[in-house]
Amino acid sequence: MTVDTQISIGNLRCKNPVWVAAGTFLYGREYGRRLPLEELGAICTKGTSLEPWDGVQGIRIAETPAGMLNAIGLQNWGIDAYLERNVAWLREQNATIVVNIVGKTVDEYAAVAAKLSPRDADAIEVNISCPNVSEGGVFFGTDLRMTEKVVDAVRKATSLPVIVKLAPNTHGLAEFAKAAEAYGADALSVANCIPGMAIDIRRRKAVMGTPAGSGGLSGPAVKPIILKMVWDVTAAVRIPVIGVGGVVSWQDAVEYLMAGASAVQVGSALFRNPNAPWDVAQGLEQFMRDEGVSSIGELIGAARP
């Protein structure tokens, strides 16, 4: 049985709905030595700023019983280095490129977006939800007016599809989703890591290296929480939603799709299984054959009343 796994996000066309999440895949070179990047729906690059960022000093990663904490602080080489070192290689791999962008001010977000042409990226993911930076990041995703300003500025700076990555640690997430839609977002990523922490009981100190001792929790522990957010947000907006949180297996992907997501992102699962996104994509396709589902669209929202 032939199945159609293609999806559309605005003007972005993807081979399948399985993407890799920003910050877990860098720019794909290491993984590209193992498996074909063109077989993925899209690659969300490492969060990229206008100028290089150093990131968090100290411990950045810690395992938890059902996931992991991270506090990288969006360390990256800046947009110019991305353009000089990575675009040509990614294009050679026939990868679908979603550049995740970050900034400390509204103007910085707009400036990064303005540097990206259709030659450099297929879409932009606007990260307004990182919990591990002292400036920017989640500040923009938990203040409704700042969300509007950032999305508006990025929308005016680019013709590329704009995907806004929302923060999970805010009240009234649906209102932020509707604001992003109103100011020009083509899609929404729901959501970023959930703030959490761990204590080193021997040192009697927080494990993570951030000033607050906290990090972003990801992995299987967050999936039921984010799945509910996806369910709620898809009911509030008309633009596509991408489910991000705890996707380890193809079954997880199917749950997100049936809740209303148009795509999913695989993140921390990569650290345990570098083949995870490919495994999810293949498992999803086989599930469609087994269930007699000819098009991915038949799964999207299938569990909704």
pLDDT tens profile 164-215: 999 998 989 999 999 999 999 999 999 999 999 999 999 999 999 998 999 9
Percent of the chain residues past pLDDT 70, beyond the cut: 97
Confidence of residue 142 (pLDDT cuts 50, 70, 90): confident
Tens of pLDDT, residue by residue over 43-61, are 999 999 999 999 999 999 9
Going from the C-alpha of 293 to that of each of 39, 70, 184, the distances in angstroms are: 20, 37, 33
CATH of residue 45's domain is: 3.20.20.70
Measured CA to CA, the distance from residue 263 to residue 285 in angstroms comes to: 13
At 22, list the tokens: 């920003």
Task: State the DSSP string of 91-154.
Answer: HHTT--EEEEE--SSHHHHHHHHHT--TTT-SEEEEE---TT-SSSTHHHHSSHHHHHHHHHHH
Average pLDDT over residues 6-18: 96
65 in a structural domain: yes
Sign (positive/negative) of CA torsion 100, 104, 105, 107?
negative
Rounded CA gap, 282 and 17, in Å? 11
The structure tokens 């409704």 sit at 144
| Tokens matching residue 190 | 């729901």
Would you say residue 269 lies in a domain? yes
| Tens digit of each residue's pLDDT (9 = 90 or more) over 29-42 | 999 998 999 999 99
Residue 43 dihedral angles phi and psi, to the nearest 5°: -115, 120
Residue 303 forms part of a structural domain: no
- pLDDT surpassing 70 at residue 233: yes
Closest CA to 243 of 253, 251, 235: 253
Looking at the domain assignment, is residue 2 inside a domain? no
**Alpha-carbon span 96 to 43, nearest angstrom:** 6
Instruction: Look up residue 302 and give its two tokens.
Output: 């299938």
Average pLDDT over residues 65-71: 94
Confidence of residue 64 (pLDDT cuts 50, 70, 90): very high
- The token duo for 84 is 């000089």
The model carries a pTM of: 0.96
* Gap between the Cα atoms of 216 and 252, Å rounded: 20
Is residue 195 a part of any domain in this protein?
yes
Say what the pLDDT of residue 139 is.
65
| Whether residue 108 has pLDDT greater than 70 | yes
Q: How confident is the model at residue 129 (pLDDT cuts 50, 70, 90)?
A: confident
DSSP-assigned beta bridge partners for residue 127: 165
Bridge partners (DSSP) listed for residue 136: none
DSSP letter, residue 221: G
Q: Is 77 exposed, middle or buried (0-12, 13-18, 19+ CB in 10 A)?
A: middle
304 occurs within a structural domain = no
Question: Which pLDDT band holds residue 147 (cuts at 50, 70, 90)?
Answer: very high
Residue 48 is part of which domain span?
A: 7-298
| 3-state DSSP assignment of residue 187 | strand
pLDDT at 136 over 60: no
Inform me whether the pLDDT recorded for 135 exceeds 80.
no
Task: Report pLDDT for 244.
Answer: 98
How high is the pLDDT of residue 133? 56
Catalytic residue list = 130
Looking at the structure of the chain, the number of domains it has is 1
Report helix, strand or coil for 194.
strand
pLDDT score, position 137: 57
Integer Cα distance of 123 and 100 in angstroms? 9
Residue 62 lies in a domain: yes
pLDDT, averaged across the chain: 95
Work out the average pLDDT over 269-273.
96
DSSP H or E stretch at residue 3: none
Residue 131 has pLDDT above 80, yes or no: no
Burial class (CB in 10 A: 0-12, 13-18, 19+), 143: middle
Mean pLDDT across 248-260 = 98
Comparing C-alpha atoms, which of 110, 106, 100, 108 is closest to residue 156?
110
| 52 within domain boundaries | yes
Q: Where are the alpha helices (DSSP H) in the chain?
A: 29-32, 79-85, 87-92, 106-114, 138-141, 144-157, 173-182, 223-236, 250-259, 269-272, 276-291
